[in-house]
Structure 1
Amino acid sequence: MPTAALHTIGYEGSSIEDFLATLTHVGIDLLIDVRDVPISRKKGFSKNGLAQQLRAQGVDYLHLKGLGDPKPGRVAAREGRFEDFRRIFDAHLRSETAQADLVRGIEAAKDRFACLLCFERDHKHCHRCIVGEEMARRGGFRLVHLGVNQAGKPWPKIGSARTHHAAALHIG
């Protein structure tokens, strides 16, 4: 039996409609928000509104603040200081709060079609990749990075989260 997948996604540059359509198309049933501050200037992506829209789509929402990138890490990443960002976030990930939320995230993602959420489109420049790698290592997940498919573009030829067995997947 293939290893369960843990997905990641960023909403940068996407509409809430395209974002929700992507989650539905892939078959995600649990969105784990790993933003330190789950508010957004982008309509539909703040915690309460997002959770409500997800529920309407049959997707559960879980915010794990302890897995969010602290402000100094966000500033370093925004400024392109990725070594500093990595050092800051690695130290944060060792904190008691982050460790507790890692365990909560792994438990929540077991037997679910789960996806980690943050802002950045490119997972390589986002702490969700680090969180995903750690959850995958500890929880035995296969990590799959998604992109938001834009309206009007054909869907890639993939199965859903329930059926695909590829080692990696990128939509968008």
Structure 2
Amino acid sequence: MAGRPMTDALQQAQGKRLAMHLRRLRAQRGWSRAQLAERAGISPRTLERIEAETTSNPGLFTVAALADAFGVPVDDLVREARGVAGAGIVSAGYEGRSIEQFVKQLLARNVGTVADVRLTPLSRKPGFSKTKLTDALAEAGIGYRHLRALGNPKDNRPPFWEGRAAEGRAVFRSLLEQDPAPQALDELFALAAKETVAVLCFEQDEDRCHRKVICDMARADHGLPVAALG
């Protein structure tokens, strides 16, 4: 996949976060858009485009002028645009998504690393096999880890396909007590305590996937926030 689409996706995500932060700062001060534009010495049209997210790369001098108008360091606006990585897990199924859509949604969630919990990281869906996926994520500045020990064995997949997900989850939960799964869980939860980690498998609906067990453990046993990709 060419680098340009992922670069564009990253810029769009950053532009969206910057626009939201500017609107929030302006509302806190009770300024109109025209008042902010005048204080910053930029045209109202330029500010409108930034706040409306129709431009994702406003330029250093424009950002500096806005920072000066608000009386905040330029670094603060840059940090907001880039997104401060929080801690927690995003439950991410790629079913029904293209690789481009998937990466854009990861960027919007400020995901720092994708933890692939497929037993075998191969897919008929373009872009989601290990090598292609790693490359696409790297272009967007997102890390990748394959945690094979957290994959669901083939003989425990039918329950999830046949409407017996609770049965499948019970079996998988017991498998997580066996080596090397505990070490892989420790690695995952330690990483998710420092940044946002997407737990990746195929099924879009977490309830139909073994990753629900992992996400439930993150919530209940480690107090980590867990959100759906969207």
Structure 1 residue aligned with 2:122: 39
Q: Is the 8 A contact 1:4 1:140 kept in 2?
A: no
What aligned pairs does 1:58-97 form with structure 2 within 5 A after superposition? 58-97=141-180
**Match for 2:226 among 143, 152, 171?**
143
Aligned residue identity for 1:74: R
Deviations 1:109-156 (A, max 9, x none): 22112111110010111111111121333433111112xxxxxxxxxx
Instruction: Specify the alignment match of 2:11 in structure 1.
Output: none
TM-score normalised according to structure 2 size: 0.60
For the residues of structure 2 that align with 1:54 and 1:77, how far apart are their CA atoms? 28
> Greater helix share, 1 or 2?
2
Task: Give the partner amino acid of 1:90.
Answer: R
Residue equivalent to 2:215: 132
Which blocks of at least 5 consecutive residues in structure 1 are unaligned? 147-170
How many Å apart are 1:5 and its aligned residue? Answer: 2.5
> Deviation of residue 18 (structure 1)?
0.5
| Unaligned segments of structure 2, at least 5 residues | 1-85
Following the alignment from structure 2 to structure 1, what is the Cα–Cα distance between the partners of residues 227 and 137? 20
1:122 partnered with 2:224: no
Tell me how far apart the structure 1 counterparts of residues 166 and 191 of structure 2 sit (CA, whole Å).
30
- Aligned residue pairs total 145
Which structure has the larger Rg?
A: 2
Is the counterpart of residue 105 in structure 1 residue 167 in structure 2?
no
The structure 1 segments of at least 4 consecutive aligned residues displaced by more than 6 Å after TM superposition are: none
Secondary structure, in 3 states, of the residue corresponding to 1:8? strand
Letter in 2 for 1:49: K
**Preserved contact between residue 112 and residue 196 of structure 2 (Cα < 8 Å):** yes
**Number of the residue aligned with 2:75:** none
Deviation at 1:91, TM superposition (A): 1.8
* Amino acid paired to 1:103: D
Paired residue for 2:99?
16
Structure 1 vs Structure 2: percent identity of aligned residues? 35
For residues 46-79 of structure 1, give each alpha carbon's deviation from its aligned partner in whole angstroms, at most 9, with x where no partner exists: 1111011101100000110111111111122122
Aligned mates of 1:137, 1:22 — CA distance in 2: 25
Contact 1:28 1:113 (8 Å CA) reproduced: yes
Rounded to whole Å, the distance in 2 between the matches of 1:35 and 1:138 is: 22
Distance in 2 between residues matched to 1:52 and 1:75, nearest whole Å: 31
| Counterpart position of 1:153 | none
Between the two structures, name the one with larger relative contact order (CA 8 Å, sep ≥ 6): 1
Is the counterpart of residue 6 in structure 1 residue 89 in structure 2? yes
User: Which shows bigger deviation, 72-81 or 14-23?
Assistant: 72-81
Q: Distance in 2 between matches of 1:104 and 1:73?
A: 24
Q: CA deviation at 1:94?
A: 1.4
